Every structure is written in C-alpha cells, then in structure tokens.
Amino acid sequence: MLEDKLVSVAQKAIASFLPKRLQVERGAALLYQIAVDNNLSIAINPRFPTRGQSAFQTDLCIFETRSVKIRIPRVVIEFKPGLSTHDVLTYSTKARKHKQIYPYLRYGLVTARPIAVPGRFFTHNEALDFCLATGGLSTSAIGAWLRALIRKEVAASRRLEAIAFDKTSARLFRNEIKLGP
C-alpha cells in the first residue's frame, strides 16, 4: 500500500471511533521549540504553530479539544512505505524535539511494507513510542490495530500529562512489545 493511501485509510479508521472531543488531523504542524527573543517575549503563538516557524508538519495528529482556543496534541503518527535506519533516526529525533514542548505527546510510526517491525527500529529508536507494521494486513485489520493502539496511546498521553503537571505519580513504567493481535 502506498504511503498516501495508508494515511487516508488510517485517518478514516481513526476518525470513525474517536469521541467528539478528540479529532484526527492530517498535516498538522507541532512546535519543536519555543524561544524567547531579546525582549524576553515569545515570538510565536504556541496555539497556532506554523510549519517552518519552529514547527514540523505531521502526517496525522490526534488532538483533544479543551476549549474553543485550546487543542492538546495527544498522538502523532508518521507513515512510511518501508522503514530504513534513516527513518528511525529522523523520526526519533523529531519525536524528542516535539516532546520537549509537549511532554505528554505519544509519537510513532506506521509502515506499509514490512509484516513485522524490523530490528533496526529497536536498535536505533530513542524517542518513538510505537511502530506498527501493516504489511499483509487488510484495510479492516489495519483499522482494528489502529483503534486498539490509539485508545492505549491517548490513555498513556493523559497519564503522562497528569504526571508532568503533578496531578499523579507512577510506581511502574515499562515499554510493551506486542507480537500478535
């Protein structure tokens, strides 16, 4: 499946089950830095990031609406036809930069061709939270995997937000590797 088609399939599948306060957006820009200028002012509006102005564009981003003016990015999904070492290094770096601004953000990759997450992902990843290999899956199976994944990632984002802003604490943290459906 081509990358653009996979993004469309994923966007449709995700939009079909999200509650009203969550929306999936294609091509959203997220900040990777907030700088203070020489007048000690923030030169950009953090509520309206623009690609090329301290913001990277994402393939898909799931936002949670807090109010008319506030949308919190919860999950970013980047799509690749295959997965090279360069892809893992690049997107891991982007994820790290975004998480410096949004400490509760979950960030991952979805690949079209491989049927399993390649070893290079585990070797070179530092900041990505997930990788889903969709090779050989039907459109409905991709949707099922994404629904389960997004539910877990949104919940993890909310827990991280509560931890980041001192509303709760954690006794255990662990990464999970899932071998099958």
Model pLDDT for residues 57-88, shown as the tens digit of each residue: 999 999 999 998 899 999 999 999 999 999 99
Distance of CA 143 to the CA centre of its chain: 16
Sequence spans of domains, the chain: 3-164
Max Cα distance, the chain (Å): 55
For the segment 33-42, the average pLDDT, to the nearest whole number, is 87
pLDDT band with cut points at 50, 70 and 90 for residue 174:
confident
Mean pLDDT of the chain: 92
What is residue 54's predicted lDDT score, i.e. its pLDDT? 84
What is the three-class DSSP state of 162? helix
H/E stretch holding 109: strand 106-111
CATH of domain 3-164: 3.90.1570
For the segment 108-113, the average pLDDT, to the nearest whole number, is 94
